[in-house]
Amino acid sequence: MTGTNQKQLGRTLCRLDALIVAETQKLEALKTHKRGLMQQLFPCPEEVEA
């Protein structure tokens, strides 16, 4: 593999890493949002009595 190909591969892998991080953050945000919605649908009995 030539130096140019290695650099191109390195850039591609860095971009993929960044994309994975961004998508993981989106997934975590969606999971948090889902938990909030589920709590609204099915509140804890202690919260209902308060």
pLDDT, one tens digit per residue, over 12-50 is 999 999 999 999 999 999 999 999 999 999 988 777 665
What does pTM read for this prediction? 0.72
pLDDT at 1: 73
Burial 6-25 (b: 16+ CB within 10 A, else e): eeeeeeeeeeeeeeeeeeee
Report how many domains make up the chain: 1
Question: 20 lies in which domain range?
Answer: 3-49
Helix (H) or strand (E) holding 8: helix 3-41
Residue 48, sorted as left (phi over 0), alpha (psi -120 to 50) or beta, turns out to be alpha
